Amino acid sequence: MAAMAAASLLCARAAAAAPALRLRGCGGGGRGARLVFSCSASSSSPSGEGGFSGKVGFLGLGIMGAPMASNLIKAGCDVTVWNRTRSKCDPLLSLGANYEPSPADVASSCDVTFAMLADPESAVEVACGANGAAEGMAPGKGYVDVSTVDAATSKLIGKHITSTGASFLEAQKSQQKMGCSSFLRQSRFFLGDVGKGADMKLVVNMVMGSMMVSFSEGLLLSEKVGLDPNTLVEVISQGAISAPMFSLKGPSMVKAAYPTAFPLKHQQKDLRLALSLAESVSQSIPTVAAANELYKVAKSLGLADQDFSAVIEALKAKEEQNK
């Protein structure tokens, strides 16, 4: 039950402006460590419990992290932020966030620190490197890693954090930027020991990346045979394979517009990590391997920072090469 409570997390309740927030993370030897503090959006909270004790840190203010941190601020949390590019902190500071010059300083000044970094290397550096968050952790504090990384990285970070007596929780989310405003209000699942959350996120993103490639092929084929790809999007939305991703991305893809919600370079990174995960257990995933190659082509075309739906341009480029 203690582990199940971990899934409810800090910000699930913060986003709903609830007064009491609990974090349970994996401590040494698999034992749970509990951190309790209160957070109330205002004295007019429905619970009637005023007061706010407990500071929240947020490391990494990219396309995913910034909306999450913003939502915590709007929920009434006392948030302290840090980002490698200092200017990315400015919008959060204008909302009332505090700033510290290093991850260690953020962790030292806060009760719970969230991290949303771009890749495993960044996640390890920010948590475990010089002036990393681990240097500011102590018993009674918590570190929640929301980054999409591999299980080995999660375990390494968890080991460094819990060695300080603090709690660690991996809490990967399965939504893109469009869902960040409701950060962790959605369903929560306890998946087991540290590393299983990372595995689940890689499997989910692996499926998502492959789906986007198939969808791209469908859009191009429909147009090639004289069908309206917009109609294809509508037909799919009303059938058994309906998915919000198709309805959201399809109209823009038809117009060759790819407003970034989830950068293509991150999708390719996740496919690479998923392939490594599959290799570690001798699982064949040929569809994912083929999809990964297309995302690599898209990156070579200068589309790394575009939305991952821009992978359709790799298919267009291949078609041009075959003419």
- Name the 3-class secondary structure at 148: coil
Q: Please pick, among 201, 265, 269, 299, the residue that the annotation labels catalytic.
A: 201
Beta bridge pairs of residue 82: 59
The span from the CA of 254 to the CA of 274, in Å, is: 29
Nearest by Cα to 25 from 197, 174, 153, 178: 197
**Which long-range CB contacts under 8 A does 98-101 form with residues at least 24 apart?**
100/57
Contact 164, 134 (CB under 8 A): yes
Helices (H) and strands (E) in the chain, counts: 13, 8
- State yes or no: is 201 an active-site residue: yes
- Residue 168: is it exposed, middle or buried by C-beta count within 10 angstroms (0-12/13-18/19+)? buried
The span from the CA of 28 to the CA of 165, in Å, is: 8
The span from the CA of 145 to the CA of 191, in Å, is: 15
Contact 314, 294 (CB under 8 A): yes
Contact 99, 135 (CB under 8 A): no
Nearest by Cα to 35 from 64, 50, 57: 57
Kindly report the CA angle at 267 between 322 and 271, in degrees rounded to 5?
A: 80
**Amino acid in the structure at residue 320:** E
The span from the CA of 173 to the CA of 183, in Å, is: 8
Q: What stretches of 225-263 show up as alpha helix (H) in DSSP? A: 229-237, 244-254
Kindly list the catalytic residues.
Answer: 201
